Structure 1
């Protein structure tokens, strides 16, 4: 079941298990925030596509909120295998499928304009950025635009969506204007934006943004999320996301 330094972690709020590895991939709070932020239909509305799926964390997190089929797209063979084994362990293979594929090649496979919802937690850092490149290949691909750029992820999301479909992303605030420009270029109108702050007195370090294919202009700014208290502990809001209601 487990390979090398893999471990089986508990997703407490969902009562599920996920395979993780410190040397290959472990999900971050960003994935949890994106899963909670994204609009998820319970039963109708078309397939949910999760791009840059990693070890399948977002399909697992949203599976308890919907009966809609979920497809995770992940380019790294090792991560896709971890995700598939987690799905099998949780007996969710009837609902979730992992496609080991370059996301730039999935539109003909999944259908142009055929899907209702796309979620994406893309690599944050452009290859020409000054951010330190990770020597670990798995982590470098997950964090840096090695195999796909921000433009790639937004274009593919837009191509996959039918009119009125929704795409949600998590990213860094310094790229917000770039994200909005590219979304609009491909017909995704930003409709909801939420800033995430590490502490109440600190500037935002994460953004959540959702757009509608062919939507009308008009964006809502949701109340900010504060992740830590002054003592460095998770806030009550984040604890509930991670561990469920106390």
Structure 2
């Protein structure tokens, strides 16, 4: 399929099925946590930057009212084709659309202030900071071969309406860099949540909600732990997998 090896997998205990590359970006707990972290209203227009196989956008379609319209863009044609197939096979293609596009050239596709909400799980690393992975697709998605953190934030600022909301997940170790990049583009951090593997362990990722042209002031939410002290999934983690909570 599309020249790459793929698998078809269940997501959220089968609420969604998704074709994914064997060697490339796949659904992880970060995918689920970001989709659960997003807040939107019924008629919001949502854009996912770097949609890969489209799972975050499709999860949002399941969680949000039917009036919500969602688009996703990615630079990898194979992944966009999988995203389109995933939307069709899950019966969500009327609400969710995917396009081949480079977020660095966002102005070529969208007008300024076109969206109410932007969602992104951007590359956590950059080529000069990390060891090269064998998979070109994976390196593009995770190591920022074609976009930097600054590129992602600039694109989000351009397409967001004033008071529009940006939702991101990012490597916790680069949290200060992320906050600085957001503030520099007039995207004010409003909600932060650190995600830890276990109590007592350092955070691995950070969930961030920022608002375009907003005032100062941020809410630091309670930490989210993946496992409790006995190695069981925490109620907070399990809640992210539960569609009924919406």
**Short-chain TM bin:** over 0.9
- CA 1:240–1:116 in structure 2 vs 1: closer, same or farther (change >3 Å)? same
What SS is found at the alignment partner of 1:128?
helix
- CA offsets, 1:161-194, max 9 Å, x none? 1101001111011211111111111110110000
Q: 2:10 matched to which residue of 1?
A: 10
| 2:32 matches 1:37 | no
Give distance in 2, aligned partners of 1:25 and 1:196: 20
Q: 1:66 matched to which residue of 2?
A: 65
Flag structure 2 segments of 5+ consecutive residues without an equivalent: none
TM-score of the superposition, structure 1-length normalised? 0.92
Give distance in 1, aligned partners of 2:81 and 2:71: 14
Q: 1:121 matched to which residue of 2?
A: 121
Q: CA RMSD in A?
A: 2.0
Q: Cα distance, 1:24 vs. partner?
A: 3.0
Count how many residue pairs are aligned between Structure 1 and Structure 2.
Answer: 243
Q: 1:92 matched to which residue of 2?
A: 92
TM-score of the superposition, structure 2-length normalised? 0.92
- CA offsets, 1:136-174, max 9 Å, x none? 101111110100000000000000011010011110112
Give distance in 1, aligned partners of 2:176 and 2:152: 16
- Check whether the contact 2:35–2:56 (CA below 8 A) recurs between aligned residues: yes
**Residue range with higher mean Cα deviation, 12-21 or 174-183:** 12-21
- CA offsets, 1:76-98, max 9 Å, x none? 11111111100010111110000
Flag structure 1 segments of 5+ consecutive residues without an equivalent: none
Give distance in 2, aligned partners of 1:219 and 1:192: 6
- Check whether the contact 2:4–2:78 (CA below 8 A) recurs between aligned residues: no
- The residue correspondences of 1:225-244 to structure 2 (distance < 5 A) are 225-242=224-241
- CA offsets, 1:5-30, max 9 Å, x none? 42221223671211123223311111
| 2:41 matches 1:56 | no
Give distance in 1, aligned partners of 2:14 and 2:183: 35
Q: Cα distance, 1:4 vs. partner?
A: 5.9
- Check whether the contact 1:13–1:241 (CA below 8 A) recurs between aligned residues: no
